[in-house]
Amino acid sequence: MTLLVRAIVRAADAERAAADGLVPVRADRIAALVSRRASTPTATEEELRAHDAITRSVHDAAPSLPSRFGDAFVDEDALAAALRAREATLAAELDRIGERVELTVTLRWRQQQPPHEPATPLSGRAFLESRAVRERERQRAEQIVARLVEHLTCERAFVRSRPCPRDGLAAIVAILSTRDAVAALREDIASFGERSSEVVAEIHGPLPPFSFVS
Amino acid sequence: MAGVPLRIVAVSELVTTEVALVDLVDRLLERGVVLAGGAMISVAGVELIELRLNIVLASADALERARERAR
């Protein structure tokens, strides 16, 4: 038997949030919502989509901290011990961000950029030139993210970004928001993308705050 | 360690399906709370390397420098 952790919630919310066959495993103030599995899970597309749906469902039902896929334990005692070891930190995070949601913005270059990993080996000079091109792309991406953040009506502290995470993308930006501010944020982001000559903005969410938990 | 090893199929099998799945991989395998899990990278059914999600990866010489500082 394996316990696959889906999310962390306040102990008082555990029963209410434990839909879809989830089982709560409790510490004093917090609880983990887990799926009981017969065997070790594998990160297939089906499993990832199921984890995505479950974490969203839990977060819609109660304040939660979503788990990274694959956090698994052999039994309830082992999981309860791990919960107790981090209980103070996780309880504080639940208070700080548990009720908020995350919008993820994918900023996609309108014009094709050179690939990050060249298909053929490069000479020394070509390698350095390639690195310089990538560095300029990263700087442009950071400037675009800064402009996006200025354009939004949210606090800078609640934004996390990754410039140039893969070919074709300027950045992936995660924005932490209250639920009642989501609609206005989506409008701001959409208008930024429409006005930009450099990037297209794709908005995902609202999601559980995956990018803001430790 | 309490965590159970997790088998992960080769990432290339995941990223070629559709863009939305790439976003899922980014979010669900790289972010979120980790209590004590482990991961097993597996390619074509052969388990290659076990990763612990809560360990620090460092090069051999970085570990050696840390050991020297500790003396």
Confidence of residue A41 (pLDDT cuts 50, 70, 90): confident
What ipTM does this complex have? 0.80
Q: Per-residue pLDDT for A72 more than 50? A: yes
Taking a C-beta distance cutoff of 8 angstroms, is the pair B29, A63 a contact? no
For position B55, what pLDDT does the model report?
35
Instruction: For residue A35, give the H/E element and its range.
Output: strand A30-37
Residues of chain B short of pLDDT 50, as ranges, are 1, 8-19, 39-49, 51-63
User: What residue type is A132 in one-letter code?
Assistant: A
pTM over 0.80? The answer is: no
Residue B4 Cα, gap to closest chain A Cα (Å): 5
Q: Is A8 on the interface with B (CB under 8 A)?
A: yes
Taking a C-beta distance cutoff of 8 angstroms, is the pair A56, A207 a contact? yes
Q: Is A108 on the interface with B (CB under 8 A)?
A: no
Provide the 3-class DSSP secondary structure of residue A199: strand
Closest by alpha carbon to B41, among A80, A43, A136, A82?
A43
Cα gap B3→A202, rounded to integer Å: 36
For position A133, what pLDDT does the model report?
82
For position A118, what pLDDT does the model report?
65
Mean pLDDT of A185-192: 94
Give the start-end residues of each E strand in B1-71: 7-8, 38-43, 46-52
Taking a C-beta distance cutoff of 8 angstroms, is the pair A72, B3 a contact? yes
Residues of chain A in contact with residue B9, where contact means CB-CB under 8 angstroms, are 42-44
Residue B63 Cα, gap to closest chain A Cα (Å): 24
Residues of chain A in contact with residue B28, where contact means CB-CB under 8 angstroms, are 48, 51-52, 68-69, 210
Confidence of residue A79 (pLDDT cuts 50, 70, 90): very high
Nearest to B6 among A40, A52, A86 (CB): A40
Interface mutation vs chain B, best among A68, A74, A83, A94, most B CBs within 10 Å = A68
Q: Per-residue pLDDT for A170 more than 70? A: yes
